[in-house]
Chains A and B, each alone.
Chain A
């Protein structure tokens, strides 16, 4: 059995948050790691801000406004990858 990687876990966490908190668990929406969250009307601008707050609280990171871009927030996979990059940056700074 393969262990779930940190990446997979955070992708799942983002998807859970989006479907639970932002979409109210609407059963008709099938969400996967590569669903376009921004272009398809699933998440609005206030939703993006709630998501950022969630990321900041859960992963103890700071999301600067300049990072709130299409590349970083388009899909659950992109968001998880972005958060991972923030954390490794933090870890490398802390190790110094």
Chain B
């Protein structure tokens, strides 16, 4: 009986040991290799003191070893905490402290920041174990050549000393499996805690919905700390399929990316719309044969119709599906986009404006649309979507305050409580039962698919001693959020330049949450009620950027 995510690879390893589990450009890890090496890694971690329920940090770019790290951690009974490989030192220290991480699995490319993490610079140095350096020489603190470094490291080659058989660890489906940190802000990071049960429920439903099988070759475009990665890392192995972990460099140079897609004969693609738009614009798709694609899944943010339709014309054999669901529930609705009918050309303008529906809840899931008094709205009215599903998280890591706001309990007729997750997303149900996403209840925005809580970001910025007040606002172009900008006022008599304030923020928040521009202002425009008029700031910024960079839009 499969009830743990870690069992997924062992099952395939028994039936089809030589099947590729994960691939990179020019490298591969079969299911047998993955099963054996993750057993060795689990044994090493246990040997180093990892116990059931512990949290192990994975601080790696997309690479084959990241798959090993995920499954080795799970087999040791621990939950993995994926850390953005570009997270600044301040954010990294914060995550390690909040999650009580004592073991980090890293990559050679992270050696410099790991060395900084080891020293006490700006706080206590991390004295736990780092697994990662390739060579034994670099594995001792002395080898990292940093004065005052603490803790110890072990190289990957140490795995060879451990048995390839699975360690005996007593576990249940309710055990923690992974914690995803969703907000770019580190003021009070929000860790979304998933169990083996919720992760496995997602894998089962997605394999069912998209009919994934052993013949499939999945293109995983998402970094491990992005919740969309669970499709490639878990749904792929559940189906016995092969997942291509696309290295970061390929995501930036689209001609190489489309070439890799063709070479690997991908059958399923899953990414944020931006990646597909870039492929469309600069991916020289006309000279690539991507006839192997049968599913193109996109999610994380809305996909503009004109781009979507252009891609559908290019890949007529593929089906396109809009995937919707906050990381708290993995996924909860889908909308298979019908191929644009011929008459759509006539009504093209209307069709272009209409958002792509988020569709209907998938199997084993209930969605309600509620008004502000938690009463279901009349059909067709706008309300907040709340979701009940086995794919739902356990809660937020050490944030009971957030749990209280996020979960909504409702008794059924028999008096049993049902627990729903409040998505914070405003939706409306249209004819045929499909839902449309209309916006947020709060000030959360998505930039390139990354969730950013603007209120958190403003608090983090205002925490700098010279800052009096701060406003962070999204800048939209063509209806899509293309970036963030900020404006701050300084305390009376305080001196600072915009650049240093922006740098200060970049030390503690992830790169995607750092505003592209920060202005020092004498005073803010105000609304009649005296609040900072962020809408006005946003309008001014949008007018300015349209004047300055009219060509940016081309890139999506």
* Contact flag A68-B254 (CB < 8 Å), given A24-B502, A38-B248: yes
Q: Which of B85, B284, B503, B551 makes the CB contact (< 8 A) with A66?
A: B284
Answer yes or no: B148 CB below 8 A from chain A CBs: no
Neighbouring B residues of A25 by C-beta, 8 Å: 499
Complex: A65 Cα to B254 Cα, angstroms: 8
Answer yes or no: B292 CB below 8 A from chain A CBs: no
Neighbouring B residues of A26 by C-beta, 8 Å: 503, 506
Q: Which of B252, B502, B503, B511 makes the CB contact (< 8 A) with A38?
A: B252
Contacting pair A41 B255 (CB below 8 A): no
Complex: A13 Cα to B400 Cα, angstroms: 52
Contacting pair B503 A24 (CB below 8 A): yes
Contacting pair A66 B249 (CB below 8 A): no
User: Which chain A residues (12-50) contact chain B, with CB distance < 8 Å?
Assistant: 24-26, 36, 38-41, 43-49
Q: Which of B248, B253, B278 makes the CB contact (< 8 A) with A69?
A: B253
Answer yes or no: A6 CB below 8 A from chain B CBs: no
B507 nearest in chain A by CB position? A28
Answer yes or no: A4 CB below 8 A from chain B CBs: no
How distant is B519 from chain A, measured CB to nearest CB, in Å? 15
* Contact flag A48-B85 (CB < 8 Å), given A26-B503, A39-B61, A39-B248: no
Complex: A39 Cα to B248 Cα, angstroms: 5
B25 nearest in chain A by CB position? A70
How distant is B432 from chain A, measured CB to nearest CB, in Å? 36
Contacting pair A24 B499 (CB below 8 A): yes
Neighbouring A residues of B94 by C-beta, 8 Å: none
Answer yes or no: B283 CB below 8 A from chain A CBs: yes
Counting chain A residues whose Cβ lies within 8 A of the other chain, the interface size class is 20 to 34
Contacting pair B252 A65 (CB below 8 A): no
Contact with B along A66-96 (1 / 0, CB 8 A): 1111111110000000000000000000000
Complex: A72 Cα to B254 Cα, angstroms: 12
Q: Which of B86, B248, B284, B499 makes the CB contact (< 8 A) with A65?
A: B284
Contacting pair A68 B511 (CB below 8 A): no
Contacting pair A39 B253 (CB below 8 A): no
B506 nearest in chain A by CB position? A26
Neighbouring A residues of B552 by C-beta, 8 Å: 46
Q: Which of A47, A53, A65 makes the CB contact (< 8 A) with B283?
A: A65
How distant is A32 from chain B, measured CB to nearest CB, in Å? 14
Complex: A73 Cα to B252 Cα, angstroms: 10
Complex: A49 Cα to B499 Cα, angstroms: 23
Contact with A along B246-265 (1 / 0, CB 8 A): 01111111111001000000
Neighbouring A residues of B282 by C-beta, 8 Å: 49, 65, 68
Contacting pair A41 B85 (CB below 8 A): yes
Complex: A44 Cα to B278 Cα, angstroms: 12
Neighbouring A residues of B248 by C-beta, 8 Å: 38-39, 41
* Contact flag A43-B252 (CB < 8 Å), given A24-B502, A24-B503, A26-B506: yes
Neighbouring A residues of B545 by C-beta, 8 Å: none
A65 nearest in chain B by CB position? B282
Complex: A70 Cα to B249 Cα, angstroms: 7
Contacting pair B253 A73 (CB below 8 A): yes
Neighbouring B residues of A68 by C-beta, 8 Å: 253-256, 282
Contacting pair A46 B555 (CB below 8 A): yes
Q: Which of A40, A43, A49, A69 makes the CB contact (< 8 A) with B555?
A: A49
Contacting pair A41 B253 (CB below 8 A): no
Answer yes or no: B145 CB below 8 A from chain A CBs: no
Contacting pair B499 A40 (CB below 8 A): no
Neighbouring A residues of B499 by C-beta, 8 Å: 24-25
In the complex, which of the residues A26, A46, A53 has the most CB atoms of chain B within 10 Å of its own CB atom? Answer: A46
Complex: A67 Cα to B284 Cα, angstroms: 10
Contacting pair A66 B287 (CB below 8 A): yes
Neighbouring A residues of B287 by C-beta, 8 Å: 66
How distant is B248 from chain A, measured CB to nearest CB, in Å? 6
Answer yes or no: B364 CB below 8 A from chain A CBs: no
Neighbouring B residues of A70 by C-beta, 8 Å: 249-250, 253, 256
Neighbouring B residues of A71 by C-beta, 8 Å: 256
Contacting pair B251 A40 (CB below 8 A): no
User: Which chain B residues (242-297) contact chain A, with CB distance < 8 Å?
Assistant: 247-256, 259, 274, 278, 281-284, 287
Complex: A9 Cα to B85 Cα, angstroms: 32
Neighbouring B residues of A49 by C-beta, 8 Å: 282, 555
Complex A-B: 23 CB contacts under 8 Å? A25-B499, A26-B506, A36-B249, A38-B252, A39-B247, A39-B248, A41-B85, A41-B248, A41-B511, A65-B255, A65-B283, A65-B284, A66-B255, A66-B284, A66-B287, A68-B253, A68-B254, A68-B256, A70-B250, A71-B256, A72-B253, A73-B253, A74-B249
Further pairs besides A38-B253, A65-B283, A67-B255: 17, Cβ < 8 Å: A39-B247, A39-B249, A41-B85, A45-B252, A45-B254, A45-B274, A45-B278, A46-B555, A47-B252, A49-B555, A53-B551, A65-B254, A65-B282, A66-B284, A68-B253, A69-B253, A70-B253
What residues make up the interface of A, taking CB atoms closer than 8 Å to B?
24-26, 36, 38-41, 43-49, 53, 65-74
Ranked 3 nearest A-B pairs via Cβ: A38-B249, A41-B86, A65-B282
